[in-house]
Structure 1
């Protein structure tokens, strides 16, 4: 049994591409010819995934799975039923749950604060910059500069907050890649199921249901921005200029399907 099969067995769910990306990011040679099932029995593969990230995902998926009623009799008898995940399968909606999987890969490039800086000192500056960026753990804080109405960023924030996130949410897991100027973040949210049927005309419902388009079809979005970091360790009283490249991967996972 491969490591991926083991993870799927532990979860008892369908593993999303974004979830696998979170475990095996930055390892393009891991899946031969781009196929996740390209291994043969007996192949040994060493993967340095972050165990804290895996634990976060396992805990979240388990919690959601355990909250799904196992008997249709446990469903609400309220006439104003919640909006189903699949409009054509209203009777099964109480036995399914959607999980929004959002991942951010942040590459940062530090601009030397002086011309004569040595390599060893520059490495320390990069490490200090990474610490400062790790503290900026608000999910949407990096998009606030470009969230004017009508922009792609504003639409994305509106869709995600309608679906299950809050504007002030923080990343569930955020950590730097060893020996790289890269910070990987992951956030999971359960797709809202508290919108009643008599609110079907509400724009929030349409926004939330748009997320179902990303089921098994992960989408990516990239942003570049230049920022100035304050209070960087070792550079007190100075501003450190950094270029940031954010790549978001968004996918939906629906559990409870058989």
Structure 2
């Protein structure tokens, strides 16, 4: 059994990119449905439907100008599979992270439809969607927006764009005979080294909520406390995300610094913890297994009851206690009532135990309905923060911590020094909800 190919295929620049899953139908391999992407010399084929099904916040990252452009920067007006769409300022590993997340969600939608897998008794609509399209036609019976979050794979798209500004704390002391050229070289060397070191330091901080905790709006810690208190808006945002799939210790799925810039971009794609996830299906299977074991244990402990227990004789009342005369209609009515009660008693002894419903086995996920405010409506939050850090840099200077001065080496050979630096950080968060299978 051959292993299925990946939804996206990466080939080296020396090879011609080929469409993936070439065993698909002819309409899928139509030239007009395929797009050739060149992301930093990594080549991919993707369908037009699949690309356009990504949320707006991600499409703007891939195509900031809103158009397809070739390697020379010219706009591609009539796009075909023969054209090469060039994307030079977006990391290829981030693109693969996006595609892997959405492909996994699409597979859950197709292979594990909630109404079919859990038999919730609702009128389900068999969704016919092309394998590579993340968006399927809407069901004929429109579900409420709140129920959609229980029925469809849902992804929380959280992106952070971070700009940082470095202010070295030591003073740079020049020799008396230093030329202007030397002074400019040393200043430039200092700032380059500090910016590189600061970028490495900030890139290594992968905690999602570290940025919220370093906001300038953070309330200072009270006496005896080590951490400050988040503001009401920041705390509300964090609570909403943590109740929807994030955790206090969550890390960014992808974090990278743009080459030659003091800009760090981070992305986290978090699956909403609803009925479409593998974790929920595992809990249901475990609950079913536990329920079946309890039924077997109960059956082995209860004594067997004879099937003809309803045929036991009962004493016949004395003729003296009956009325002397009874109308024919009254006698027929009494007979019918007696037989109906007998049938009900017999059915009650043979009826099987009631099978528990889905939410009797596993509690229904408690989904924050406020997430719907971000469905197809990206929201942004911007704030400033600052940090005092010690950075290791390589300079042609000596550092005196007492006087906080940098003086030029007599030999002029670069060496490693650790200097204090104040970082001013501007963060912009973009939050969007993406529901797979709903256009």
* TM-score bracket for the superposition, by shorter chain length: 0.7 to 0.9
2:190 is aligned to 121
In the TM superposition, what are the counterparts of 1:124-163 in structure 2 within 5 Å?
A: 124-145=193-214, 146=218, 148=229, 151-163=232-244
Cα 1:10–1:137 change in 2 (3 A) is: farther
1:178 is aligned to 259
**SS of structure 2 residue aligned to 1:184:** strand
Cα 1:238–1:132 change in 2 (3 A) is: same
2:59 is aligned to 20
Shift of 1:113: 3.0
User: Given the alignment, which residue of 230, 239, 245 partners 2:390?
Assistant: 230
Cα 1:93–1:154 change in 2 (3 A) is: closer
Whether 1:52 aligns to 2:133 is no
Shift of 1:77: 3.8
**Residues 153, 436 of structure 2: 8 Å contact kept:** yes
In the TM superposition, what are the counterparts of 1:165-204 in structure 2 within 5 Å?
A: 165-193=246-274
**SS of structure 2 residue aligned to 1:139:** coil
**Residues 197, 392 of structure 2: 8 Å contact kept:** yes
1:111 is aligned to 167
**SS of structure 1 residue aligned to 2:264:** strand
Higher relative contact order (CA 8 A, sep 6+): 1
**Residues 60, 66 of structure 2: 8 Å contact kept:** no
1:221 is aligned to 381
Shift of 1:240: 1.6
1:31 is aligned to 66
Q: CA RMSD in A?
A: 3.4
Whether 1:40 aligns to 2:77 is yes
Shift of 1:239: 2.7
CA distance in 2, matches of 1:89, 1:110: 46
Which range moved further: 94-103 or 228-237?
A: 228-237
**Residues 393, 418 of structure 2: 8 Å contact kept:** no
**SS of structure 1 residue aligned to 2:87:** coil
TM-score of the superposition, structure 2-length normalised? Answer: 0.48
**Residues 108, 181 of structure 1: 8 Å contact kept:** yes
CA distance in 1, matches of 2:78, 2:52: 22
TM-score of the superposition, structure 1-length normalised? Answer: 0.78
Shift of 1:228: 1.2
CA distance in 2, matches of 1:90, 1:139: 27
Shift of 1:152: 0.9
Shift of 1:120: 2.1
**Residues 107, 182 of structure 1: 8 Å contact kept:** yes
**SS of structure 2 residue aligned to 1:192:** coil
CA distance in 2, matches of 1:90, 1:125: 49
Q: Which segments of 5 or more consecutive residues in structure 2 lack a partner in the other structure?
A: 1-31, 38-44, 68-74, 122-141, 173-185, 219-227, 281-357, 395-415
**SS of structure 2 residue aligned to 1:68:** helix
CA distance in 2, matches of 1:12, 1:188: 16
Q: Which structure has the larger Rg?
A: 2
Q: Which segments of 5 or more consecutive residues in structure 1 lack a partner in the other structure?
A: 33-37, 80-85
Cα 1:212–1:122 change in 2 (3 A) is: same
